[in-house]
Amino acid sequence: MTHLDEVKVFCTVCGDEVVDERKRRRSITCTRACAIIRNKYLRARTDARKCRFCGQPCTPEEKESYRAWRKAMREQAKLAVQ
């Protein structure tokens, strides 16, 4: 019996208890299916904020704000060089 067998760990997705084998691998989900659901949730949460591939904003308002910020940074860099 190891230290991890004594600790009750619960799945972050469904709330069931995590089996000993997965606890040893320090998993926070009880099954592979719950792990897939968790990964999809995390990916969707990130995709709502920015593009997964380029890291830039993805909504039209965010894109316009980003363009304005980049333009301001270019102007600031031109002033610093002069």
What is the structure's pLDDT at 10?
93
Alpha-carbon distances, residue 55 vs 26, 50, 63 (angstroms): 29, 6, 11
The model carries a pTM of 0.60
Q: Are 58 and 51 in contact (CB under 8 A)?
A: yes
Q: Write out pLDDT tens, residues 24-80.
A: 888 999 999 999 999 999 998 888 777 777 777 777 887 788 889 999 999 998 888
What is the structure's pLDDT at 4?
56
Q: Which residue has the higher pLDDT, 15 or 62?
A: 15
Q: Which residue has the higher pLDDT, 53 or 19?
A: 19
